[in-house]
Amino acid sequence: MSNRNTEENDDKKKQYIVVYAIMAFLILYVFSITKNFMTTQEVSYNEFLNMIENKEVESVIISSSEIQILKKEDSTNKVKGKMLYTGNVNDPNLVSILTESGVEFKAEPMKNNYIIDFIFDWVIMPIIFFFIIRFFMGKVGRKMGGSPMMGLGKSNAKIYKENDIKITFDDVAGQDEAKESLKEIIDYLNNASKYTSIGAKLPKGALLVGPPGTGKTLLAKAVAGEANVPFLSISGSNFVEMFAGMGAAKVRDLFQEAEKNAPCIIFIDEVDSIGKSRDSQIQTNDEREQTLNQLLTQMDGFDSTKAIVVLAATNRPEILDKALLRPGRFDRRVIVDRPDLKGRIDILKVHSKGVKLGDDVNLEEIAKSTPGAVGADLANIVNEAALRAVKHGREFVMQEDLREAVEVIIAGKEKKDRILSPMEKRIVAFHEVGHALVAALLENTDPVHKITIVPRTMGALGYTMQLPEEEKYLVSKEELTNQIMVMLGGRSAEEEVFNLLSTGASNDIERATKTARSMVTIYGMTDKFDMMALESVQNRYLDGRAVRECSDETSTLIDEEILKIIRTCHESTKKLLRENRDLLDKISEYLLEKETIFGSEFMEFVYDKYPELRDRKNKKVKDANQVIEI
C-alpha cells in the first residue's frame, strides 16, 4: 500500500476513535439524565411535611439543594416506586421535626458534589463541545476543498510515493525547453552524491512561470515521475489559513516531511498567493508575511546535501517577493509558455491517444485553428469532440467533431434558438463578409477560414475566422495596419451598404483601438513619438495590461495619434469595399442562404474577379507547408 494511503488511513482511524469516544460519552450522559428523570419525582415541601406527619417516611438524605425521601413502603416492598425528592428550603425546624417523628436522616457531603459538578460543567463539557465543533468544521472544510481543521497545524500536503506518479515527460507535449531545463533537476535527484562529492551545492528550487493551463502542475508531476521520487504538493492558497501562525506551521511540517522522504520534490502551486512582494501594497497581511518568512527560512535551512528540490508555480512572477527569487531559493526560472503550432499538434496527439479517431481527422488543421490556446484548452477540445461523436451515435471522432469542438471552446456553443430578424441577419452577413473581403484583398493578412452568421451564446451574432498560416513572432507595421482595416471592415460594410451605424461593431472597435494604441505607445511606430516607450506591460502572463508611463499632456497627444491611425484605416477600408461592392453583395447573398461558408468557397468568389490572387495565395500556402514540415 502506498504511503499516502496508510497516512490517510491512520488519520481516519484516529478521527473515528475520537468521534466514537465522544458519542459514547454523550449517550451515557443523556442516559444518566433521563434515568434520573424517569426514576425520581418531585414533591412539594408541604407534601413532604405531611408525609412525615403521617409516618410514611423511613429516611431522608439532605443535600444543600434538595432532600431525597425514602418512603417506608419502598423500603419494605421489593418493587420500588419513584424516588421522591423535594427542594431544600432551609427550614430551621426540619431537624427537630425529623427527630421527633423518628425519621432517620443524614446529610450528603456537599463539597464532593460541587467539585464533580464543577469539573463536569467547566472542564469536560467544554472539551466535548470543542471536539464536536472541530469535527464538524473539519468536515465542512474538507468539503470545501480546504484543509480540515482536524489536522490543525499539521500540513496536509499530499504525499505521493514513487509508484503513484505515472506521469512522465511523454505526457507533456510542446514544452521542450522547459523539459530540457528540468532534466538537470532530475539528474540531481537521482545522483545527488555525484554532485555533492565534487563539492557542488544542489539547486534548491525552480520556479515554473507561465499562463494558466500551460501545464505547470503537469510538468512538476512529470519531474517526480521521471525521477521516481515522492512528490509532496501543496497549494499556496492552502497556506493562508484562518488562524494566524498556521500557515507558518504548515510550511515547517511540509519541510519536515520532505526531509523524511528525501530525495523528493516539494511542489508549491500558486506560490504568488503567499509570495507576494511585501512592499507592494499598503495593506499588509501578517499571516501571509509570516508564512512567507517561514518559507524563506526553511529554504535556507534545509540540509542541502539532502536531495530535496522545491518547485513552485506561478502565473504572476512580477509580484513575487524579491527575497524568494534570490540565489539559493527559487533562482531558476523555467518558462512554460503558450505552445506554438508544433507544440499544439503534439499536445493534441497526446490527448487523442486514448480516443478513437476517424480516417479524416487532421490534427494539424485543428492546431492551426487554435492559435493562443493552451494545453488545457486543447485537452478540452479533444474531449468535447469525443462527447459530440457519442452524441451523434458514432464510435469514433471525426474531423467535424473536432472543428465543432474548437468553436464551442472558442466561441461558445452554437445556439440555434436565437432568432434574428431578416433585416438583422442581412446586416450581420454584410458585416462579416466585410471583414472577410478586406482580409482577402489586402496582402499579408491571415487567410479566411470560415464565415458564419449562426449566433453563438458568447454574444457574437456571427463571426469571421481567420487562420494564420504560420506562427508569427514579428509583426510589421503594415501588417498591424492591415489587421486594423480587417477589424474595421465589418462596420465599413454596414455603412457602405445600409448607410447605418449599428452596435454590432463594438468589439471590433475595441480591438482596433487597442492595436492602434500599441502601435503608438509600445511598438514605436509613429513619427510623432519615434521610439519612445509610453506604456509598459504588466502581468505578462495574465491579462497583459499596459500601464501608462507618460504625462497627461502626452496622453492627450497619444489619443490624437491613435485617432489618426483609425481614421485613415477606416477611410481606406470603406474605399476598398466601395471598389468591390459587387463582390460584397454577391458573397453576402450567398452567405445569407448558406449561413456558414468555408474559406475555399469564399475565395472562389474572390478569384473569379482577381485571378492573379490565386497565385499569391498558392505561394503562401506552399511556404506555410514547408514551415510545418520542419
Residues that bind ligand ADP (CB under 6 A): 172-175, 212-218, 313, 347, 350, 375-376, 379
Of 152, 147, 133, 258, which Cα lies nearest the Cα of 205? 258
Q: How far is CA 201 from CA 179, 192, 309, 408, in A?
A: 22, 10, 12, 50
Task: Work out how close the CB of 219 gets to ligand ADP at its nearest, in angstroms, rounded to a whole number.
Answer: 7
Q: Is the dihedral of CA 445, 430, 489, 400 positive or negative?
A: negative
User: CA 212, CA 375: separation in Å to the nearest integer?
Assistant: 9
Contacts of 379 (CB under 8 A, 6+ apart): 347, 351
Contact between 217 and Mg ion by CB under 5 A: the answer reads yes
Q: Which helix (H) or strand (E) holds 590?
A: helix 581-594
Task: Work out how close the CB of 217 gets to Mg ion at its nearest, in angstroms, rounded to a whole number.
Answer: 3
Task: Work out how close the CB of 435 gets to Zn ion at its nearest, in angstroms, rounded to a whole number.
Answer: 6
Task: Work out how close the CB of 456 gets to ligand ADP at its nearest, in angstroms, rounded to a whole number.
Answer: 24
User: CA 505, CA 510: separation in Å to the nearest integer?
Assistant: 9
Task: Work out how close the CB of 172 gets to ligand ADP at its nearest, in angstroms, rounded to a whole number.
Answer: 5
φ, ψ dihedrals at 69, nearest 5°:
-120, 125
- Minimal CB distance residue for ligand ADP: 375
Please, what is the Cα angle at 624 between 619 and 629, to 5 degrees?
130
Contacts of 75 (CB under 8 A, 6+ apart): 58, 59
Q: Are 565 and 520 in contact (CB under 8 A)?
A: yes
Q: Which is nearer to ligand ADP, 170 or 623 (CB)?
A: 170
Among 241, 384, 432, 495, which one carries the catalytic annotation? 432
Q: Is the dihedral of CA 266, 269, 274, 276 positive or negative?
A: positive
Q: Which helix (H) or strand (E) holds 616?
A: helix 611-629
Task: Work out how close the CB of 457 gets to Zn ion at its nearest, in angstroms, rounded to a whole number.
Answer: 17
Task: Work out how close the CB of 341 gets to ligand ADP at its nearest, in angstroms, rounded to a whole number.
Answer: 14
Contacts of 262 (CB under 8 A, 6+ apart): 306, 307, 308
Q: Which is nearer to Zn ion, 265 or 591 (CB)?
A: 591
User: CA 315, CA 427: separation in Å to the nearest integer?
Assistant: 41
Residues marked as binding for Zn(2+)?
A: 431, 435, 508
Classify residue 452 as left (phi > 0), alpha (psi -120 to 50) or beta: beta
Task: Work out how close the CB of 505 gets to Zn ion at its nearest, in angstroms, rounded to a whole number.
Answer: 6
**Amino acid occupying residue 245:** G
x/- letters, 481..520, toward Zn ion (CB under 5 A): ---------x-----------------x------------
160, 161, 164, 165 alpha-carbon torsion, rounded to 10°: 80
Is 194 in a helix, a strand, or coil? helix
Q: Which stretch binds Mg ion (CB under 5 A): 141-149, 215-223, 347-355, 597-605?
A: 215-223
Q: Are 521 and 565 in contact (CB under 8 A)?
A: no
Strands (E), 280-408: 308-314, 332-335
Task: Work out how close the CB of 450 gets to ligand ADP at its nearest, in angstroms, rounded to a whole number.
Answer: 26
Q: Which is nearer to ligand ADP, 213 or 230 (CB)?
A: 213
Rounded to 10 deg, the angle between the 581-594 and 599-609 helix axes is 150
Binds 490, which of Zn ion, ligand ADP, Mg ion, none (CB < 5 to 8 A, cut-off by type)?
Answer: Zn ion
Contacts of 13 (CB under 8 A, 6+ apart): none
Binds 215, which of ligand ADP, Mg ion, Zn ion, none (CB < 5 to 8 A, cut-off by type)?
Answer: ligand ADP
Partners of 67 in beta bridges: 62, 86
Q: How many residues sit in the footprint of Mg ion (CB under 5 A)?
A: 1
Q: Which is nearer to Mg ion, 217 or 588 (CB)?
A: 217
Binds 173, which of Mg ion, ligand ADP, Zn ion, none (CB < 5 to 8 A, cut-off by type)?
Answer: ligand ADP
Q: How many residues sit in the footprint of Zn ion (CB under 5 A)?
A: 2
Please, what is the Cα angle at 19 between 17 and 22, to 5 degrees?
105
- Give exposure, 63-89, as e/b (b: 16+ Cβ within 10 Å): eeeebebbbeebeeeeeeeeebbbeee
Residues marked as binding for ATP?
A: 210-217
Of 240, 302, 229, 306, which Cα lies nearest the Cα of 268? 240
Q: Which is nearer to Zn ion, 94 or 461 (CB)?
A: 461
432 is catalytic: yes
Contact between 294 and Mg ion by CB under 5 A: the answer reads no
Which residues sit at the interface with Mg ion, rule CB under 5 A?
217
Residues noted as catalytic: 432
Which residues sit at the interface with Zn ion, rule CB under 5 A?
490, 508
